[in-house]
Structure formats: structure tokens, C-alpha cells
Amino acid sequence: MHDWHTALTSLQQYADIQSHDPHCRVGSALISPCGLIAHRDVNQFPRGIANDERWHDVDAKLDLVIHAEQAVLHGYLHDVSGWTMLITKCPCHHCAQAMIQRGISRVICPPYRVGSKWERSHRLAQEMFREAGVNYTELTQ
Ligand SMILES: [Zn+2]
């Protein structure tokens, strides 16, 4: 049985080092059915796009950034049906679509921040997880 709080803390430390986002450093990890972290990644600009001042321009950043969950799924092209995704932030609905489509069966993350501009997207993600039969677990501190 995993200590998910420790795993989440470790993943956040990885994101704090690897992500260029000055405000929101997100990490995501793919965990195989036997509990091994097979791949992890962070929110990032696509390959070939410079890590420049656009990270500090919210509109430019949102247009360019690949969320950590999608970065992980793009970077690991083996079958992940039945696998777990650990994320340091509650996922948006676009990432939920991608995870469901790839067959992720369990999502573990902290709860979203109530009143956040992403709240509608988080709720939609959770509705999709429920309807698609994805086990969604929020880790509280
Ligand atoms: Zn997302």
C-alpha cells in the first residue's frame, strides 16, 4: 500500500525543481498496477518553445503550456489501461478527457481550491471521472 501523501510531496518537490512556471508548478506521475512510478513530468511549454518571459504573461502561458498530466501521457506511449495517475493539483477537464481516453482507472490528487477560476473545469473533470468509472481520490492534508 502506497503512502500517497509522501509520494505527492516527493512529486511536488520534483515539480518545484523541473517546472518553469513561476506561479503554479505541477507534477504528474503514472503508476503501474504493481505500484511503480513508470513516468513523471511537469507542466511545460512544448519542445522547441523557449522558456522565456511568456511564463510571466498569464495569457501567453495559458496558450502555450502543456499540463503535467498531458505531458506525462504524451511521454509514455505504452498501454496504461488500469493505471493510476498521481497529480499535485486537481486536474482540469481537458486532462480528464485525456486520462479517460488512455484508460487511466484511478486519479489521486489534492482537492481543488474553491473559488478558483478553474473550479468549473475541475467539477466537469470529476463528473466525467464518475461517469466513466474512474476512481477519483482527493488527498487532504
Ligand atoms: Zn489540465
Residue 73 alpha carbon to ligand 1 centre in Å? 12
Q: Which residue has the cell 511564463?
A: 55
- The domain total for the chain is 1
For residue range 113-139, list pLDDT tens digits in order: 999 999 999 999 999 999 999 999 999
Q: How far apart are CA 70 and CA 60, in angstroms?
A: 18
Contact 122, 116 (CB under 8 A): yes
Its domain, for residue 36, covers: 4-138
Distance 95 CA to ligand 1 centre (A): 4
CATH number for the domain that contains residue 97: 3.40.140.10
Which residues crowd ion ligand 1, with CB under 5 Å? 67, 92, 95
Can you give the pLDDT of all 141 residues of the chain as single tens digits?
A: 579 999 999 999 999 999 999 999 999 999 999 999 999 999 999 999 999 999 999 999 999 999 999 999 999 999 999 999 999 999 999 999 999 999 999 999 999 999 999 999 999 999 999 999 999 999 987
Q: Which helix (H) or strand (E) holds 68?
A: helix 68-75
How many angstroms does the Cα of residue 67 sit away from the middle of ligand 1?
A: 5
**Amino acid sitting at position 91:** P
What is the number of other CB atoms lying within 10 angstroms of the CB of residue 128? 17
